[in-house]
């Protein structure tokens, strides 16, 4: 009797489970899904919504700066700025020199102002020209290998700078032309004085520099080198 009751209860439980399964299946079928699809939907995470890619901002790249590298120059060096109408642009160092006076020779002589600058630092060095006297004014004249229509002059002052009071340029026929007369603004030592003047319509092969000597006993104005820049007719 007890076994019969137990079997009846088990059968009722099985029938209840079957009814539950059938009901669940009917629910999913009513929603057009299969049980496998439902299980797969639970197991597979829903991907996050994607955002449209942001377009990169367009910009013009910054050009690299042009670096100019200084280089030693020979007595007469053609430059890149050649003009077919004006000729070959050159910058050159003096090849010969004379002066109103010289403190000594070969030290401190006018010849010390030829070639590239070679005085190591500011000071009273024998590698630059110095006059022999304390006259109110003394002059140094340097000559160049190639006559050019001058566009620039650079005077390298190695001691007591700021003493240039006049600069003249000389034509090959000997004619002098004053291109600067006034106060030399150079204060650094060693320093470079480049007087401003319009390009010369005539050829230049020499430069004369007049200096005003200091009246104190601290030393003479000294010039280490002179550079001439200009166009050589082609």
Q: Are residues 34 and 99 in the same domain?
A: no
Q: Are residues 81 and 7 in the same domain?
A: no
Domain for residue 176, yes or no? yes
Number of structural domains found in the chain = 2
Q: Which residue has the higher pLDDT, 112 or 214?
A: 112
Q: Are residues 129 and 197 in the same domain?
A: yes
* CA nearest neighbour of 227 among 167, 162, 155: 155
Contact between 195 and 177 under an 8 Å Cβ cutoff? The reply is no
- Average pLDDT value over all residues in the chain: 75
Q: Which residue has the higher pLDDT, 34 or 189?
A: 189
Whether the predicted pLDDT of 58 surpasses 90: no
Whether the predicted pLDDT of 60 surpasses 60: no
pLDDT at 129: 97
Whether the predicted pLDDT of 228 surpasses 90: yes
Q: Are residues 94 and 22 in the same domain?
A: no
Q: Are residues 177 and 90 in the same domain?
A: yes
| pLDDT per residue as tens digits for the range 174-185 | 999 999 999 999
Contact between 90 and 78 under an 8 Å Cβ cutoff? The reply is yes
Q: What is the CATH number of the domain that holds 203?
A: 2.60.120.260
Whether the predicted pLDDT of 66 surpasses 80: no
Whether the predicted pLDDT of 160 surpasses 50: yes
Phi then psi for 184, rounded to 5 degrees? -75, 120
Burial 3-39 (b: 16+ CB within 10 A, else e): eeeeeeeeeeeeeeeeeeeeeeeeeeeeeeeeeeeee
Whether the predicted pLDDT of 130 surpasses 90: yes
Domain for residue 64, yes or no? no
Q: Which of 43-57, 70-84, 144-158 has the highest mean pLDDT?
A: 144-158
Strand 96-99 versus strand 164-170 pairing type: unpaired
For the chain, what percent of residues have pLDDT higher than 90? 55
Whether the predicted pLDDT of 194 surpasses 50: yes
Q: Are residues 202 and 118 in the same domain?
A: yes
Q: How far apart are CA 32 and CA 20, in angstroms?
A: 19
Work out the average pLDDT over 163-183. 97
Contact between 90 and 232 under an 8 Å Cβ cutoff? The reply is yes
Determine the 3-state secondary structure of 132 from DSSP. coil
Domain for residue 52, yes or no? no
Domain for residue 49, yes or no? no
Q: Are residues 20 and 83 in the same domain?
A: no
Whether the predicted pLDDT of 29 surpasses 60: no
Q: Are residues 109 and 13 in the same domain?
A: no
Work out the average pLDDT over 144-153. 97
Domain limits for position 11: 2-43
């Amino acid at each position: 009797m007890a076994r019969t009751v137990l079997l009846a209860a088990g059968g009722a439980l099985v029938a209840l489970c079957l009814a539950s399964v059938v009901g669940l299946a009917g629910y999913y079928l009513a929603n057009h899904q299969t049980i496998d699809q439902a299980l797969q939907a639970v197991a597979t995470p829903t991907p996050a919504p994607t955002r449209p890619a942001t377009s990169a901002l367009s910009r013009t790249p910054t050009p690299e700066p042009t670096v100019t590298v200084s280089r030693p120059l020979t007595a007469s060096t053609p430059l890149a700025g050649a003009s077919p109408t004006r000729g070959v642009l050159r910058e050159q160092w003096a090849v010969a020199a004379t002066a109103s006076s010289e403190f000594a020779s070969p030290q401190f002589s006018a010849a010390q102002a030829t070639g590239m600058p070679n005085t190591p630092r500011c000071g009273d060095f024998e590698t630059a020209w110095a006059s022999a006297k304390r006259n109110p004014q003394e002059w140094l004249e340097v000559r160049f290998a190639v006559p050019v229509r001058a566009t620039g002059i650079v005077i390298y002052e190695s001691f007591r700078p700021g003493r240039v009071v006049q600069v003249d340029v000389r034509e090959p026929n000997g004619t002098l032309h004053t291109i600067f007369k006034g106060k030399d603004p150079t204060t650094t030592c060693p320093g470079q004085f480049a007087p401003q003047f319009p390009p010369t319509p005539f050829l230049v092969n020499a430069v004369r520099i007049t200096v005003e000597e200091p009246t104190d006993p601290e030393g003479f104005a000294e010039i280490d080198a002179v550079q001439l820049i200009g166009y050589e007719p082609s």
